[in-house]
Amino acid sequence: MDSEPSAFKSSDFPRTPAEWEKAQRNLKAPNLHALSQLDSGSEIARPQFLLLRALWDTKKQYLFQIEEWLQEEYVQHAVSFLEGCQDWNSYLGSFNQGIKFEQRPFPSLGDFTLVKYSQLEADTVEEKNYSSESVLWLVPKTRSVTAREKARKEGQKATPSKVRADQKQYLPEGMSPWSAARKGDQKVLYPPTEDEQIVNVALLNFLTVLTITHDDVCLRWCSARKNLHFACHDEKYGVVKYQARTDGYLRGQRHSTAYAIVEVKPFIRANKPNTRWQETAQMAAWISEDPPPEGEGPLMEEKVFQ
């Protein structure tokens, strides 16, 4: 079987049936059933990923259109709701206040106090463990890097502005397709954290506060690691199956159906394909466990942002 590559290659993520045919041509196993054993979602390798027959159509940030996700009336309702939320406005203003993780007493931001605290904790862990000269030396000290480092020390975080598709030619050369930072800047601005759970807590705290403050919300974000099971039956080979675990999910108040799933990593994706293989395994297991209504084909659409 193919060995797992150490760096990203276009063949790792086929976008069309023809690309998939070419990518799986050298595999020894013709289908999932022919594999001796299926790996769990977190341990999935390239052969198993390809035999899930998933196609990746990546969309870059500057092509993102919110209308593809939500109707305009829902967007306007959300904007109106947040504009009228004093705690949300205090939270936005906190990015210009230079708040420190060690600050005591920690400033009160209402419902978003714990959100801010957990985000600063993730940021502090990054600086504490990966700020040595041996790491910084790897990245050229451009003016943009210096300015961003200074902003981080002052407790500020730049919010990338929305870039229209017709503005693509003005994007800085070398910018990552998924991240607001240039590829060379990422090791300084977004080094890996020591534990992905810190990032997970920060994300789920943020999502939870956004939902519990609205009267009409009937779903809740849950930090439990939901187990998703993939099972496929073949008359010749029998049943093959694997398990994929999420880092959290959106569920109903009284049942465990997943309406959205969470997967976090304590590092920038860079050129490692393993993360997307894992996400594909999770999506396939999610569809297997909760298939679409009869007459509607399975649709795996995933948009990734950093």
More confident residue, 306 or 297: 297
Give the C-alpha separation, 35 to 48, whole Å.
8
Which tokens belong to 205? 């705290």
Cβ count near 106 (within 10 Å): 15
Q: How far is CA 7 from the centre of its chain?
A: 19
pLDDT score of 142 more than 80: no
Please spell the DSSP secondary structure of 126-141, one letter per residue.
HHHHH-SHHHHTTS--
- On whether the CB atoms of residues 268 and 306 are closer than 8 A, the answer is yes
Ranking 92-96, 129-133, 151-155 by mean pLDDT, the lowest is 129-133
Total-model pTM: 0.69
- Cα–Cα separations (whole angstroms), residue 3 to 22, 93, 190: 17, 49, 29
Q: What is the pLDDT of residue 171?
A: 38
**Average pLDDT of the residues in 83-108:** 93
pLDDT score of 191 more than 70: no
pLDDT score of 6 more than 60: no
Buried b or exposed e, range 136-175, using 16+ CB within 10 angstroms: eeebeeeeebeebbeebeebbeeeeeeeeeeeeeeeeeeb
Give residue limits of the domains in the chain: 10-57+217-289, 68-158+174-212
Question: How much of the chain exceeds pLDDT 70, in percent?
Answer: 68
pLDDT tens profile 33-49: 888 788 898 889 999 99
Ranking 39-48, 108-117, 201-210, 229-238 by mean pLDDT, the lowest is 229-238
More confident residue, 115 or 67: 115
Beta partners for 306?
Answer: none
pLDDT score of 262 more than 70: yes
Rg, Å, the chain Cα set: 21
Euclidean distance between the first and the last CA atom of the chain, given in angstroms as a whole number: 32
Instruction: Write down the mean pLDDT value for the chain.
Output: 75
pLDDT band at residue 243 under the 50/70/90 scheme: very high
**Average pLDDT of the residues in 77-101:** 92
pLDDT tens profile 283-299: 999 998 888 776 555 44
Q: What is the pLDDT of residue 213?
A: 84
pLDDT band at residue 306 under the 50/70/90 scheme: very low
Q: What is the pLDDT of residue 34?
A: 83
Q: What is the pLDDT of residue 151?
A: 52
Buried b or exposed e, range 214-224, using 16+ CB within 10 angstroms: eeeeeeebbee
